[in-house]
Amino acid sequence: MLTIETLCKTYPNGTHALEKISLNVDAGEIVAMVGGSGCGKTTLLRMISGLEAPTQGHVAIDGEPIFAPHPAVGIVFQEARLLPWLTVAQNIAFGLDHLPRAEQEARVDQALLRVGLAGYGKRWPRELSGGQAQRVAIVRALVAQPKALLLDEPFSALDALTREDLQDHLLALWEQHRPTLVLVTHDVEEAVALADRAIVLQPKPGRIFADIPIDLPRPRDRLSPEFAEAKRLVLKALDGSINQPMTHQPGKVHSPSAGGSF
């Protein structure tokens, strides 16, 4: 459904962010991207969304190449990025301009209800907590009913309890239309709690290090031994990805920064 082929990205300043990423994601699948800071997760997501052009390779959704933001692909950024001059309800309806007013209102009301924010529609974004704002941002992308939704560490700024709560909200929303989810996270627990597959990226330049299926039935019990085992697998891969010896580069061997990306 989502095809990523030999995607490379080198930024104008020379940073080699991604090297030959190839990946297929099925319809309705939830894929988690994990990897250390700076390994290119955001870059990858931005290229899938069409906000940024790859240096090489291409992305396609249902065989249709993506050059610019595509109606079937939604994105949730790391920060909520609500428009401060619109109320919560208007923010959620931001991408629904083409629909009749009644349909907009119906979708907004239902969305607010689903994320536990009924009655918050008339508030300004500044009157929301961080977690509430992030829920609004997720719902803003989802009410447009994209076939694929990209999420860039949507919960990373929240405390553990809120995060778990929002993960459940996200799953509940996903159940509705079952869009494909690509979720960037650096939280292994989050990856295992949500995803069908965890893709571990390796830094400098960003490459796929491991592709780990997570075959646990939903709803998942975070305390079960199977969950712990899956977590261990992903963690191990993550460790490996970071401690990989660098490919031998003459002159760079003794560079103090050559060790890891953190």
Task: Provide the 10 A C-beta neighbour count for residue 160.
Answer: 10
Q: Is 81 in the site for ligand ATP (CB under 6 A)?
A: no
Q: Is 132 in the site for other proteins (CB under 8 A)?
A: no
Q: Which of residues 173-192 bind ligand ATP (CB under 6 A)?
A: 186
Which DSSP category does 206 fall into?
Answer: B
Q: Is 40 in the site for ligand ATP (CB under 6 A)?
A: yes
Dist CA 219 CA 215 (whole Å): 12
Q: Which helix (H) or strand (E) holds 132?
A: helix 130-142
Long-range contacts of 126-135 (CB under 8 A, 24+ apart): 126/84, 128/82, 128/88, 130/80, 130/157, 130/158, 131/158, 131/162, 131/165, 131/166, 133/80, 133/82, 134/80, 134/158, 134/166, 135/166, 135/169
Task: Give the residue with the Cβ less far from other proteins, 146 or 203.
Answer: 146
Residue 70 near residue 50 (C-beta atoms within 8 A): yes
Contact residue for ligand ATP among 25, 41, 93, 138 (CB under 6 A): 41
40 binds, among ligand ATP, Mg ion, other proteins, none (CB under 5 to 8 A by kind): ligand ATP
Q: Which stretch binds ligand ATP (CB under 6 A): 32-40, 92-100, 124-132, 216-224?
A: 32-40
Q: Is 254 in the site for other proteins (CB under 8 A)?
A: no
Q: Which of residues 9-48 bind other proteins (CB under 8 A)?
A: none
Residues at the site binding Mg ion, with contacts judged by CB under 5 A? 42
Q: Is 86 in the site for other proteins (CB under 8 A)?
A: yes
Residues near other proteins (CB under 8 A) are 49, 51, 68-69, 71, 74-75, 77, 79, 81, 83-86, 94-95, 97, 124-126, 144
